[in-house]
Amino acid sequence: MADFLQILITAIAVGSLYALIALGYTMVYGILKFINFAHSDIFVLGAWTSLTASVCVITWLKLDTQQPPLWLAPVVLLCAMVVCGGVAFLVERLAYKPLRKSARLNVLITAIGVSLLLQNVGQLPGFTAAEKDGRSLATVPFGPSPSRMPSLLPDTSLISVPFPSGDPTIPAASVQVNLVDVFIFVSAMVLMFGLQHLVYRTKLGAAMRAVSFNTETASLMGVPVDRVMSFTFVTGAVLAAAAGFLYALKYPGLNQPAHEIWVLLGLKAFVAAVVGGIGNVRGAVLGGFLIALIEFMGMYLFSKYLDPLMGTNMGTNLRDVYVFSVLIVVLLVKPSGLLGTPVREKV
Amino acid sequence: MPEAANILELRDISVKYGAIRAINNVSFSVKRGEILTLIGCNGAGKTTTLRAISSMVRVSGDVTFNGSSTAGERPETLVRRGLCHCPEGRGIFANMSVEENLSLGAFTRNDRDAIESDRQRVFTLFPRIKERLKQNAGTLSGGEQQMLAIGRALLSRPQLLLLDEPSLGLAPQLVQTIFRIIREINQQGVSILLVEQNAHMALQVAHTAVVLETGGVAMQGPASDLARSDAVRKAYLGH
Ligand SMILES: Nc1ncnc2c1ncn2[C@@H]1O[C@H](COP(=O)(O)OP(=O)(O)OP(=O)(O)O)[C@@H](O)[C@H]1O
Ligand SMILES: [Mg+2]
């Protein structure tokens, strides 16, 4: 029971991250009608900007490395959002905007190109941004070797619930709710509700939905279509930046930008968007949590029940299989995704 | 700046879709305060003419709206200048509520009180719309969608309203209503360029008529004259 709850907590935290990234995929698809393959690279950029920014601020202001002050986290988050938003703005302006009127396939291929570009630029041995005793602590760009994110939050558990095992020979287990998990969940929720408000309660949001439904008619209402598109793109990137920041808090060992862990993470967030119904904001959130839940529950249940039965040890290795099986099932049963309802126009 | 007598002037405008010439050297003007109807068979180029006016397609020739050229403008900037285009097929945002559709009509405006009074005016014209405010616009009947499209267009406070086949697919009684409302809107000071298949009704409400045939102007003149002309009666009125 205790280990089950513990896994559930992790799944919710990771699900928040998937949901945040999935929102970017879904918004860009909903409005610009293409899959932005470079989106997961913006997420990676968010994580690595968080690393660089925290190391730099800590070094420059000579802050305590073990227990940096609490204001550092929001400052670093802001840095990541600004950098990712800026890069996304440039990418959209230089790579996608000139292709507004060309075939979707061209844009898709361009997106793959942008993704490769970002991954490879990220691995260039950059210049030193912060150093101590002649040793480089952080470079821009990230560079080819893995790095470690300083811990910005105190490593405490907020709640610890003991679970007596019932059997005196087995020690009591306990469920820990860690600060970082709560922080991730709450931040993600705040951002998601903010987005929900933006999209469904503001004039700009109405313009976004109008553009998503029919670009041409939206322009006849006086909606500045190009600007709405750029804005949507940048908003998606800002959410991905937040996800990158939160990811780095939870998993501080950061790999090089082109590492397969990153690629898979982005891919799973994309699966979340598709499973929830691509183009649908609520669907992306639902998909994010669902995918994480299935991934972690799959690992847990397989390792606990199937592995001992079969004498194997592969429950954890199959984590990606669970995710992509869900994708296949959803695509077979409801191709438009869980919340995706194809709207038909009356003629 | 003195107001131009013509709210809209087209001089030798042509539009090509790839190699297809959809309209060719079309010239006519809409006088301020009048209803001009543009009639013609399917594929004559009526919709294309409207799209050319609101800069939705690449045009050669001059389009002058309210005294200045529309060259280099985009549909969204023309809305701010007082040109409103109610597109063929109504262009309802079926994923949004009726209320949101109406607010999008007023997208370019910030004068809350005036928008509210314009909304009330739309509700007087179309009481049905008011009953359906919270409903998803995609679930409205075809006629209700048409009313919503016209009401929404009015919320941009247009000086010139382009209507592309507002009576399409409506029951005869509703057609009467729509035409009555078009006249009312016109009497409130909005110039109207009306594209219609229903030449009979269109020629009744319009002051001026232009007949398009295979991408060019075949005839133009006062609507009552055209309604009496043999050529028009044979081709478009069916008697
Ligand atoms: N996007 C397009 N690409 C190619 N040809 C087009 C396009 N739009 C219109 N055309 C062609 O241009 C011509 C004029 O079309 P248009 O839509 O203006 O006709 P219309 O007078 O509005 O007809 P209807 O009464 O059927 O609406 C037609 O021959 C049509 O096939
Ligand atoms: Mg037409």
User: B141 and B201 share a domain?
Assistant: no
* Residue B56 belongs to a domain: yes
- Complete DSSP assignment for A241-308: HHHHHHHHHHS-EEPPTT-HHHHHHHHHHHHHHHHH-TT-HHHHHHHHHHHHHHHHHHHHHIIIIIHH
Do B120 and B163 sit in the same domain of this protein?
no
Which ranges in A123-258 belong to alpha helices (H)? 179-201, 203-213, 215-220, 225-250
In a domain, B183, yes or no: no
Residues B70 and B100 in one domain: no
Quick check: A221 contacting B, CB < 8 Å?
yes
Q: Is residue A280 within 8 Å of A337, Cβ to Cβ?
A: yes
Say if residue B61 is in the same domain as residue B167: yes
Quick one: tokens of A253?
């060992």
In tens, the pLDDT along B79-104 reads: 999 999 999 999 999 989 999 999 99
Which residue, judged by its Cα, is nearest atom 17 of ligand 1?
B47
Q: Are B113 and B99 within one domain?
A: yes
Q: What are the C-alpha distances in Å from B150 to residues A75, A234, B97, B182, B211?
A: 49, 34, 16, 9, 24
Kindly state whether residues B194 and B132 are assigned to the same domain: no
Q: What is the pLDDT of residue A138?
A: 84
Q: Which residue has the tokens 């933006």?
A: A198
Does residue B224 lie within any of the structural domains?
A: yes
My answer on whether B213 and B224 are in the same domain is yes
Instruction: Please state, in angstroms and rounded to a whole number, the distance separating the CA atoms of residues A311 and A324.
Output: 24
Domains of chain A: 2-159+175-333 (1.10.3470)
pTM: 0.91
Whose Cα sits closest to atom 2 in ligand 1? B17
Residue span of the structural domain in which B136 resides: 92-157
Q: Is residue B2 part of a domain?
A: yes
* Percentage of chain B lying above the pLDDT 70 cut: 98
Q: What number of H helices and E strands is found in chain B? A: 10, 10
Same domain, B76 and B167: yes
Tell me whether residues A222 and B79 touch, CB distance under 8 A.
yes
Query: What ipTM was estimated for this complex?
Result: 0.94
> Which residue has the CA at smallest separation from atom 11 of ligand 1?
B22
State the DSSP H helix or E strand holding residue A17, giving kind and residue range, or none if neither: helix A2-32
Ligand 1 atom nearest B50 alpha carbon? 18
- Does residue B182 form part of some domain? no
Q: Domain tally for chain B?
A: 2
Interface test with chain B among A208, A209, A219, A221, by most B beta carbons within 10 Å? A221
In this prediction, residue A91 carries a pLDDT of: 97
Name every chain A residue with its beta carbon within 8 A of the beta carbon of B80.
222
Query: What pLDDT, on the 0 to 100 scale, is given for residue A345?
Result: 44
> Residue A244 corresponds to which tokens in the numbers above?
């990158």
- Residue B239 pLDDT: 66
Do the domain assignments include residue B9?
Answer: yes
* Chain segment B134-170, per-residue pLDDT in tens: 999 999 999 999 999 999 999 999 999 999 999 988 8
Q: Which residues, other chains included, contact B95 with Cβ-Cβ below 8 Å and sequence gap of 6+?
A: A209, A212, A213, A343, B136, B138
* CA dist., res. B65 & res. B83, Å (int): 8
Question: What residues form DSSP beta bridges with A75?
Answer: none
| Domain co-membership, B151 together with B105 | yes
Q: In a 3-state reduction of DSSP, which class is residue A130?
A: strand
CATH number of domain containing B11 = 3.40.50.300
> What does each of the 347 residues of chain A score in pLDDT, given as a tens digit?
788 999 999 999 999 999 999 999 999 999 998 999 999 999 999 999 999 999 999 998 988 888 889 899 999 999 999 999 999 999 999 999 999 889 989 999 999 999 999 999 998 887 888 888 777 888 888 888 888 999 898 888 888 888 777 777 777 788 889 999 999 999 999 999 999 999 999 999 999 999 999 999 999 999 999 999 999 999 999 999 999 999 999 999 998 888 888 889 999 999 999 999 998 999 999 999 999 999 999 999 999 999 999 988 888 889 999 999 999 999 999 989 999 876 554 44
Which of A206, A220, A343 faces B94 most closely, judged by CB atoms?
A: A343
Predicted local distance difference test score (pLDDT) of residue A346: 44
Q: What is the pLDDT of residues B12-25, one digit of tens each?
A: 999 999 999 999 99
Confidence at residue A12, expressed as pLDDT on a 0 to 100 scale: 96
Beta-carbon count within 10 A of B62 CB: 14
Are B78 and B163 part of one and the same domain?
A: yes
For the segment B207-220, what is each residue's pLDDT rounded down to a tens digit?
A: 999 999 999 999 99
Residue B107 Cβ contacting ligand 1 at under 6 Å = no
Exposure of B75 by Cβ count < 10 A (0-12 exposed, 13-18 middle, 19+ buried)? Answer: buried
Q: What CA–CA distances, in Å, run from B63 to B6, B33, B57, B81? A: 12, 18, 12, 14
What whole-number distance in Å separates Cα of residue A122 and Cα of residue A129? 14
Q: B75 and B5: one domain? A: yes
Is the residue at B206 inside a domain?
yes
Distance from CA of B99 to the nearest CA of A (A): 11
